[in-house]
Amino acid sequence: MTIIDEIGNSLTFYFPPLRIVSLVPSITELLFDLGLEDEIVGITKFCIHPIDKVKNKLIVGGTKNFSLEKILQLNPDLVIANKEENQQQSIMELSKYVPVYTSYVNDFDSALNMIENIGLITDRKIQATEMTSKIENLFDELKVVDFKKKVIYMIWKQPFMTVGKNTFINSMIEKIGLINVFANKESNYPEISESEIINSDADLILLSTEPYKFSEKNFPKFNELLPNAKALVVNGEMFSWYGSRMQLSASYLQSLIYRINDLISE
């Protein structure tokens, strides 16, 4: 098969691929859920779902520092990467030796498109279409936050980092009816200062469990900066893992909406 990937690169690979290496944790989970357990031969150390199945796969390194040698030893028909999660220079080098499909997800619709594309290139088109239809229906049923509230979504502590407009996380924020106060930032994952947090006048601060593992012990600092805002720890996977995990994130986000409505009404 010859195809154009999600960043405009053309690649030709054996179809259907019988030996797949995934360099993207959320797409690794998607591949398993599409029934490709036997075809997956290599993953990264951050590919932790599904827990009972990934332990049987060879780890080729991290998402940023994977081993070219280990990947080539696996003789893959196809490697699946991502524009943001993997270093493009390393992907370009890898693509000299094996076909690399690079995905790019920056909102809800592009996540569904990615699922369909992965289904197409792995001969799981029917399963992928069923999955995207289910996800769309689940998100259509969400009852959003009652009142438009301004939110800061924190992903890192030192330095403070948040999310900009062109990110999948921002799309999830909007899906539950919140307003990202830093959506106007040019960077997808901008650094922000304490003064910017103070001046944001945000109503809510969502502290993600990944990539930095925020917890309730971080509440005092944000309460100091924004004493009138409510802080919540949120499951980062449910906001940032595009793919089959979106089937689970819909119900998680609905529960979060109820919690936020309760906080607002206090």
User: Domain 149-265 carries which CATH code?
Assistant: 3.40.50.1980
97 has pLDDT over 90? yes
Give the C-alpha separation, 237 to 170, whole Å. 13
60 has pLDDT over 90? yes
| Whole-number average pLDDT of the chain | 96
pLDDT at 147: 83
* pLDDT tens readout for residues 204-235: 999 999 999 999 999 999 999 999 999 999 99
181 has pLDDT over 80? yes
Could you check whether 2-138 and 149-265 share the same CATH topology?
yes
For the segment 185-194, the average pLDDT, to the nearest whole number, is 96
Q: Does domain 2-138 have CATH number 3.40.50.1980?
A: yes
pLDDT at 59: 98
Domain extents for the chain?
Answer: 2-138, 149-265
pLDDT at 148: 87
